[in-house]
Amino acid sequence: MSLIYDSLRAFAAGGAACCVLYAATAYSVEARITIDNFSFKRDTITVPVGTTVVWENDDDIPHNVVATDGEFRSSALDTEDKFSFTFNKAGTFDYFCSLHSFMKGQVVVAP
Amino acid sequence: MAKDDYDHIDRRGALECMIWAGTGVLWTMVGGVPRSSSLLGISEAKAQAASGFTFLQISDSHIGFKQAANPNALGTLEEAIAKVGALPQKPAFMIHTGDITHLSKAEEFDNADQVIGKAKLETFYVPGEHDIIDENLGKAYLERYAKRTQAKGTGWYSFDKNGVHFVGLVNVANLKAGGLGALGAEQLAWLADDLKGKSASTPIVLFAHIPFWTVSAEWGWGTEDSAQALGLVKRFGSVTVLNGHIHQIMQKVEGTVTFHTARSTAFPQPAPGSAPSPGPMKVPEDKLRSVLGIATVAVKQGTQPLAITDSDLTKV
């Protein structure tokens, strides 16, 4: 409760809010996957726990990102749309594009 | 078209082949037996069409697509519908083999409905993969199109017209990673039941979005359990399978079954293996209308010949 109150005060203070956001992102790890020519590039990546993976569609056709085990599912990504998911546990996560199911990828999350 | 058809190519054959390559394909089925090697002349096919009933196939209108391959997909759909209105013989009805929209958005469906409605033809739809990517994965499509046809499951149904049995099938839903298009066990069981009791002489037309034969496994252009569906129609003398999805004309004849894919009204896609991916193909602006089009299907009563004529969108 007091945290929310503090945050509101920070927003009211203007510039202070930027510092809060900056602090939140500065310590997260980000990995990017491009969707290009009906394929995920790279199609297999290994990242540490806590990594946020960002997929961006660079094709002229919509694609999506769907975990085989149902863990995550993006909406349809039109050209230049992005989807991100943060992997908070170790393991191997297979995913595919449910519009073009021959498009497959894998995120290996190392402990 | 099987390459073997042109083993003994002569001048006439070459000309017919040019007709096929340039403006569309004309062929016939006589007595339920498809004869792909006997391409008809245009006037001959028109005479056939005049004596029976015709229906129309449009496909892959992709309303909402705005990329370089065609920034105005609604405009080219309008041109296609104008072409339908100008046909010498009014078709009995129209089928749309999916990808009505690009992103399953309400306004895309609205715009498509408004333009297609101008043809003033009863229209039967099946969904493409682009029509079921709304938040609820196909609910928007079903709410709009499933009630009138009393469609089951993800949108399959059948109906009879002029003695021909039409079956609209869905092979774009619940796809598995690494696979092709799929019908699924529930739909196949329904199909078996639907065909039960139909006489073997009833002409059958199956229509669905993704081709029923594997045009390209690499690009997912096929339906993994289509063999089971085709097994169910094996006893029928005349079976025609109409698809879209690949945005180009392809056809194949296998026994009593003829397969045909229609052009898109929005943008062309490359021939299998001719490009790194099946993405939209940009052609010079003045060539676009020669690679978009509609298909007219003529059914003659009695001997049941069936002829498909593909017309592009260039102005005559």
Helices (H), strands (E): how many in chain A?
2, 8
Q: Kindly state whether B276 is in contact with chain A, defined as any CB-CB distance less than 8 angstroms.
A: yes
pTM reported for the whole predicted model: 0.83
Q: Report, in this order, helix, strand and coil percent for chain B, each rounded to 5.
A: 30, 20, 50
Q: How does DSSP assign B13-80, residue by residue?
A: HHHHHHHHHHT----EEETTEEETT-PPPHHHHHHHHHHSEEEEEE----BT--STT-S-HHHHHHHH
Residue B102 has pLDDT above 50, yes or no: yes
Q: Per-residue confidence of chain A (111 residues) as pLDDT tens digits?
A: 344 544 444 444 444 444 444 444 445 799 999 999 999 999 999 999 999 999 999 999 999 999 999 999 999 999 999 999 999 999 999 999 999 999 999 999 999
Q: Kindly state whether B67 is in contact with chain A, defined as any CB-CB distance less than 8 angstroms.
A: yes
Question: What is chain B's Cα-based Rg?
Answer: 18
pLDDT of B292 reads 97
Q: Provide the CB-side half-sphere exposure for B70 (13 A, CA).
A: 29
* Residue B47 confidence class, pLDDT cut points 50, 70, 90: very low
pLDDT in tens, B173-208: 999 999 899 999 999 999 999 999 999 999 999 999
Return the CATH number of B52-312, one of 2.60.120.10, 3.30.70.420, 3.60.21.10, 3.40.50.10190. 3.60.21.10
Residue B28 has pLDDT above 50, yes or no: no
How many residues make up chain A in this entry?
Answer: 111
ipTM here: 0.81
On whether the CB atoms of residues A64 and A74 are closer than 8 A, the answer is: yes
Query: How is residue A8 written in tokens?
Result: 């509101």
| Nearest alpha-carbon partner for A67 in A89, A46, A85, A90 | A85
Q: Provide the CB-side half-sphere exposure for B108 (13 A, CA).
A: 23
Q: Which of A61, A62, A96 is opposite residue B177, by nearest beta carbon?
A: A96
pLDDT of B299 reads 87
pLDDT in tens, B261-282: 999 999 999 999 999 999 999 9
CATH class of A28-110: mainly beta
Residue B239 has pLDDT above 60, yes or no: yes
Using the 8-state DSSP alphabet, how is residue B235 labeled? Answer: T
In this complex, do B220 and A102 lie within 8 Å of one another by their Cβ atoms?
A: yes
Closest Cα in chain B, distance from residue A99 (Å): 6
Cα gap A89→A110, rounded to integer Å: 8
Residue from A96, A102, A103, A107 to probe the interface with B (highest B Cβ count within 10 Å): A102
Q: Kindly state whether A99 is in contact with chain B, defined as any CB-CB distance less than 8 angstroms.
A: yes
Residues 177-216 of B with CB under 8 A from A: 177-180
- B1 or B308, which is more confident: B308
Cα gap B100→B32, rounded to integer Å: 31
Instruction: Report how far apart, in Å, the C-alpha atoms of B114 and of each of B103, B109, B110 are.
Output: 17, 9, 6
* Residue B316 confidence class, pLDDT cut points 50, 70, 90: low
* Mean of all residue pLDDT scores within chain B: 85
On whether the CB atoms of residues B213 and B245 are closer than 8 A, the answer is: no
Strand B306-312 relative to strand A39-41, pairing: unpaired
Strands of B184-281, DSSP E = 204-207, 239-243, 250-254, 257-261
Domain ranges of chain B: 52-312
On whether the CB atoms of residues B168 and B157 are closer than 8 A, the answer is: yes
pLDDT of B53 reads 86
* Residue B301 confidence class, pLDDT cut points 50, 70, 90: low
Domain ranges of chain A: 28-110
Q: Kindly state whether A61 is in contact with chain B, defined as any CB-CB distance less than 8 angstroms.
A: yes
